Copies of this chain bind each other. A is one copy, B any other.
Amino acid sequence: MPRAVYPGSFDPITYGHIDIVQRAKTIFDELIVAVVTNPSKQTLFSLEERRKLCEQALKDEQIDGIQVITWEGLVIECAKRYQAQAIIRGLRANSDFEREFQMALTNRDLNGNIESVFFMTSGEYSFLNSSIVKEIKSFRGDVSRFVPSVVEKALEQKFRKT
């Protein structure tokens, strides 16, 4: 009964991430979405805000049985702690493959028992990421095709404040 961790910044979660969650669920019995901190990147939403948006978005999309956690530390430690056999990564046409490779090989160096497993995002979301969503919304553009409505509302509030 394979269990997997799907780590990411999720700043905020998009339909691209949700697509990967659904694909990974066809293979893994248990899936843990791990919202992680990245000391070298500044995020728009706080760690807890990002976790809540993931939880709410997955609920609104009626995807059940997904645990959403936050994690401050190495992803490989998170996988170990939650006894996962795999770390899920989504590949898009514009993925930074080399960065993905670097992370996967580094994680393998750190713990050889946990596999990095890659799924391919739907063609529809192939060029979608959190940054472009934030960029469009910062200019008051429409992002309803890219993120669930709970996320769109959160983005609106964020940019209203600034």
Contacts and interface: CB of A to CB of B under 8 A. Distances in A.
Interface string A65-94: 000000011101100000001100001011
Contacts of A126: 93, 123, 126
A62 to B, nearest CB: 18
B91 A118 contact: yes
What is the predominant secondary structure among interface residues of chain A facing chain B? mixed
B119 A117 contact: yes
B136 A127 contact: no
B123 A105 contact: yes
A124 B123 contact: yes
Each complex incorporates copies of this chain amounting to 6
A131 B106 CA distance: 12
Contacts of A73: 139-140
Interface centre among A116, A120, A129, A132 (most CB of B within 10 A): A120
Interface in A101-124: 101-106, 108-110, 115-120, 122-124
Give the interface size class of chain A.
Answer: 35 or more
A140 B74 CA distance: 8
Contacts of A108: 120, 122-123
Interface of A: 2, 23, 26-28, 39-40, 72-74, 76-77, 85-86, 91, 93-94, 97-99, 101-106, 108-110, 115-120, 122-124, 126-129, 131-132, 135-136, 138-142, 145
5 contacts: A39-B138, A72-B139, A73-B140, A93-B101, A115-B119
